[in-house]
Each structure stands twice: as C-alpha cells, then as structure tokens.
Structure 1
Amino acid sequence: MNARHHRGRAWMITPALTPARFDTARTSGAGVALVDLEDSVAMADKHRARTTAHRFFDGAPEHGSCTLGIRMNSPYTREGIKDLVAMADYPAKPDLVLVPKVESSRDIELVACVLDDPGYTPDIWALIETPRALEKLASICAAPRLGGLVFGSADYAAAVRCGLTWQALLHPRAALINAAAAAGLPAVDAPTWRLDDPDAVRTEAEQAKELGFFGKGAVHPRQAALINEVFAPSESEISRARAIVAAGEASGASVTKVDGQMVGTPFFAAAKALVADVDGIR
C-alpha cells in the first residue's frame, strides 16, 4: 500500500500516549495518520507508548482511504530496536513506517529486514531532518524499499541554527524535492507549527505545492482539511490540463498554444499526469 495513492494530502501525527485522540486522527481526513513513538514521547514513557500504539491500528479497515502508520524511534537507538521488535508482534500492523533521523539507505534496509515477512511489507518512508541526510540524499533515495521522503524542519533548523521560516529552509526543501523527483519518489513537507494561524498553514501549503511537494504534515486535525484543499487541483487547473492534453493530441505532440500560452512536450506530460491523478481518484 503506497501513500501516494490516497486521496488526502495531509499527514496527521498524534502521540502514542493519547489514545483518546486516536479516532480523531484516523478520521481527520488526512491521507496518512501516524501514531508517534518518537519526539512526542519522553524517554521514561517509551515502553508504555509502544505498548499503547498497537491500538491505533485496531479496526483499520473501517478507516477507508486513510493509511495508518507509525513514527518509530531511530533504528540505530535502543528504543528504535525495541520499537521494531514490538511492531513485528502487533496483531494489526501499520501500513506505513516513518523512520526518523535517516542518514543512510541502511536505515531503510534495517527496518525492512526486521519487519518484512511473506505476508507483510509495510511502506517505509524516510524522515530527512539533518544536514548529513541532505548530503546523502541520492544514496538514501536508492534504497529499494523506500516509499518516499518527509522533511523534518524543526530538527534541521535546530541542527544548522537557522530560523523556521520558509526562506531560511528553502534550500533543504528544494534539495529534497530534487532528489525525490530524480528517484521517482513523492515528498511530504513539514508541518506549519503555528496551531491557531490558518492563514500561515494555507500560505505554506501553497508554497509547498508550488515547489513540488506531494503533501504536508499537520499537527492538528483542523489543519488536515485546509491542506487537502490546497493540494487538490482546482476545477480551473483540471480544465486547463484537459485543454492542454487535447491540444497536444490535436497537434501530434508538436508545440502549440493554449489560451495564448505556448505549450510543448513538458506541458503535455504535466497535464497528462494531473488528469490521470484526477481521473484515478474520481
């Protein structure tokens, strides 16, 4: 099951120690809902978190198009190893595993080696949140079991001592998008951390979409609908894409014009991809 095929483009994450919020996260409209064992859980509570997290996946078929996943601790830590052992024994297993602090393709391979079995191969995504990871993006993206990339803005900004503004983090975002596109992988942007500022969420989501991200993280259920709205193509975008596809077919894929703009091969390819996505969902 690959998260790129799901309707919602928001990724919702909820702490493993708040089971009362599990159903809200699963029904928030997010394309992916994750239960978190890492940053939202204090070290003293890690064991309780991993033994509680399995409840997030109970009754998974009821949640339709929402992919249910888990953010584990780094597989190169003692807690991460314990997470993998626990997940392997969950009665209902996560569809997606988000691996934090990834700096090598070996991180992905290790998780796959522990969790994969003949009846279960979870979608494994890499959380890119360190300068070293940015330097190793090409090799990370070559991992055969990698499903996609997620940008971790807070940890990256802390590591390089920069601000959390869009401009300050434009370089790592652009580098991540380029590496993901070169490998044919989707990429998901970091959340907007301001809880009560929907305008900031909308602005960052629009910027992320323009840059090429597939979706964006959400830190509150009310952000999910807004993110989905931004990433969903508008009716005018769909109509224009159909017009470009039709113009390409009529011209034999030669350079032509649509609404006064010159269009050619790259425009035809982008329009066909958008139309295929829309028609596939509908």
Structure 2
Amino acid sequence: MQPPLNRANSAPPAAAGPSGPTWLVTPGIAPARFDTAIGSGAEVVLLDLEDSVPTGSKADARAAVLAFAGAPTPGADGPLLGVRINAVDSAEGPRDLAAMGEGSLWPDLVVVPKVESSREIEAVVQAVRRAQVATKVWALIESPRGIVSLSGIVHTPALAGVLFGAADYAAAAGCQLTSRAMWYPRAQLVTAAAAAGIPAVDSPFFSLDDQDGLRSAALEAVELGFTGKVAVHPHQLSVIAKAFAPSPRELEAARAVLAAAAAAANAGGAITTADGVMVGPPLVDAALAVVRRAGHRPTVTTTSVTKVS
C-alpha cells in the first residue's frame, strides 16, 4: 500500500504509480459512495467527473469530488486517489483544472479522457507543474484516432501511464464490445506503453453479474501485458486481484527459473535449463515479473543472480 492520502495538500502527495492492479471508478455525482470506495480494498480509487456525470450536474460533482480530495484522511494506509476530469478541449475540462488549482485540491493522479494527441496531456502537465504538486497524469485512450496516435502520446514528457476505454472505442470504431474485437487496440496500447516504459491499465468489464466473464477478461488482460484493470463495482475487485496474482504453479516455476539462473551465474555461465526449458536473460526477466506480482522482493538481475527474499 501507498502512504496515506494527503488530501489537504499541505505537502506533495505520494508518487502515484499504482501499488497494485485494482482500480475502482466511482461517479463523482455520488459522494455517499466515496468513503465506501476508499475502504473497498482497491489500490486506486478514481472519482469520475466525465461520462458518469450529466451535463447539468458537472458543477455539483466537481464540488463534491474536490471537497473530498481536500478532506483530512484518518487512518494509515489507503489507496491512491484519482480524478478523471472532463476532456481538456471541452468547456468542463479547463474548469476542473482551474478548480483544482484555485483550491490547491490536487489528487494523487489525474486521468485525462479522450486523448488523441500529446497536446491534451501537455495541457494538464503544465497545470500540475504550475501548482508545484506531485500529481501524476494518466491518459485514457478510447478512440481509433487515439490508438493510431499512440507513438506520440506515450512519449509525452511526464505521462505516468495509460488506460484503455473499450466502450467508447467500440462506439467510435463501429465494432462490437467483445473480447475478440478489442484484441487489436488493447495489444497496440500495451505494446506502445511497454516501449515507453509506462504501465497500461485495462478497461472495465461492464457485466456486473458475470463473474466468469470478468475472470476471463482479467486473465486475458494479464496475458496481454496490462498491469491492472478498472472495476466498476467493489465486488469485481477480488476477481481482478486474484487474476493478476500469479498462481502457485506460476510462482513455483518462476522460482525454479531464478534458482537455475543463480546456479548458472555462480558457475560463471549465463544460460542453463529449468524443468527442461532453456533459461536465459529474457526468461529471467519474466520470472522476476512473476515474483514481483506475488509481492515478493527479488534481489536478482539478468547479469547477477543471487536469491529471492
């Protein structure tokens, strides 16, 4: 877990890379749900000022979200607090940023929706820098134009990560909101994010009563290389967390790879085998990633392998 939220912003908030794979989005127009979201166990709680808020309720939602962001936080560890603002080229997006700046009520992270170029990100980064806060800026990619412009978007200075918006993408592309239809844009997003060295978080699964479908979608997100997935209801969080955690078999195999690599390194070699599979630097990196997902602290590199604590 990250250090406690500092919603009063008397000092810069903690670094806002997600501490785990579970994100929970909550409508900004429903302040009665905010405390429940904070206590849900999600690593990132994202209060939404955009799609879930009707046009006539934007001001009320903004006031509720920023009042919550500025409230003192009791207790110790807690999730990161994020806010999805309105699009920066809309009337409401600049108002969201202005209100944050005027009240010095900056969350741990700001999610910028409908990003199709670096320009939208740069505008928010500049606002954060003027405020001299440690708020991280994330881009929500949810259109075909955003996907084809990824190479410019992901390398925007100070961009902390990207999220995928499947529903808006499907509407814009004229395709169905199915797993197969989303393979291409999701793979493109993960590839671009990996090339830029930033995390990518997958779109929500919208069928609230389909736990098997959620499990399948979350496992697919892991397979594609996403670092997390957004939930739209707290009861989805445990399924997502379990999907992103390595299975006992995966963890055992990863430890076998690291042990074999350590033995090879101690013997002066770089290549060895584990359970009949050749082990070299790429497989060691993959094993390290599995161990990290399990919450352990590997003390190994591909050139100098020692042990896993």
Compute the TM-score of the two structures, normalised by the length of structure 1. Answer: 0.94
| Aligned AA (1:15) | P
Aligned to 2:289: 273
**How far apart are the structure 2 equivalents of 1:90 and 1:24?**
24
The equivalent residue for 2:306 is none
Q: CA deviation at 1:264?
A: 1.8
Q: Which has a greater percent of helix?
A: 1
Match of 1:239 in 2: 252
The one of 142, 162, 168 equivalent to 2:155 is 142
Indicate the residue corresponding to 2:38 in structure 1: 26
SS in 2 for 1:30: coil
Letter in 2 for 1:261: V
Using the TM superposition, name which of 74-83 and 256-265 deviates more: 256-265
Determine whether 1:17 maps to 2:29.
yes
What SS does the corresponding residue of 1:45 show, helix, strand or coil? helix
1:280, distance to aligned residue in structure 2 (A): 4.2
Name which of structure 1's ranges 69-78 and 52-61 shifts more when overlaid on structure 2.
52-61
1:98 aligned residue: 111
The residue identity in structure 2 corresponding to 1:54 is L
Residue ranges of structure 1 left out of the alignment (5+ in a row): none
Name the residue aligned to 2:47. 35
Contact 1:3 1:32 in 2 (8 A): no
Change (3 A) 1:107 1:280: farther
2-structure distance, mates of 1:152, 1:224: 18
Mapped partners of 1:237, 1:200: distance in 2: 22
Closer/same/farther in 2, CA of residues 153 and 2 from structure 1, 3 Å limit = farther
1:238 is displaced (CA, Å) by 2.3
RMSD over aligned Cα atoms: 1.9
After superposition, the C-alpha distances for 1:105-149 in whole angstroms (9 at most, x for unaligned) are 121110011122464121110000011111110110111110111
| Alignment partners' CA distance in 2, 1:197 and 1:275 | 29
Tell me if structure 2 keeps the 8 A contact 1:192–1:201. Answer: yes
Measured against aligned partners, the alpha-carbon deviations of 1:21-76 in whole angstroms (never above 9, x if no partner) come to 00111111111101100000011111111111113322346462411010000111
Larger Rg: 2
Alignment of 1:192-207 (within 5 A): 192-207=205-220
Partner of 2:182: 169
Residue 273 and residue 122 in structure 1: after superposition, are their counterparts in 2 closer, same or farther (change >3 A)?
same
- Give the Cα–Cα distance (whole angstroms) in 2 for the partners of residues 268 and 21 of structure 1: 43
Residue identity over aligned pairs, in percent, reads: 47
Matched, 1:258 2:271: no
Segment of structure 1 superposing worse, 73-82 or 237-246:
237-246
State how far apart, in whole Å, the 1-side matches of 2:91 and 2:297 are: 42
Counterpart mapping for 1:46-195 below 5 A: 46-57=58-69, 58-60=71-73, 62=75, 64-117=77-130, 119-195=132-208
Q: Which amino acid aligns with 1:160?
A: A
Are the aligned partners of 1:123 and 1:146 in contact in 2 as well (CA < 8 Å)?
yes
Contact 1:241 1:274 in 2 (8 A): yes
* 8 Å CA contact 2:44, 2:82 repeated in 1: yes
CA–CA distance in 1 between the matches of 2:65 and 2:115? Answer: 22
Q: Supply the distance in 2 between the matched residues of 1:263 and 1:20 (Cα, whole angstroms).
A: 52
Tell me by how many angstroms 1:258 deviates: 1.2
Task: Check conservation: 1:3, 1:31, Cα contact below 8 A.
Answer: no
Could you report, residue by residue, the CA deviation over 1:160-185 in whole angstroms, capped at 9, with x for unpaired residues? 11111110110000000100000011
> How far does the alpha carbon of each residue in 1:231-274 deviate from its partner, in whole angstroms, 9 at most, with x for none?
12233322322221121121235332212222222101111233
The normalised TM-score by structure 2 is 0.86
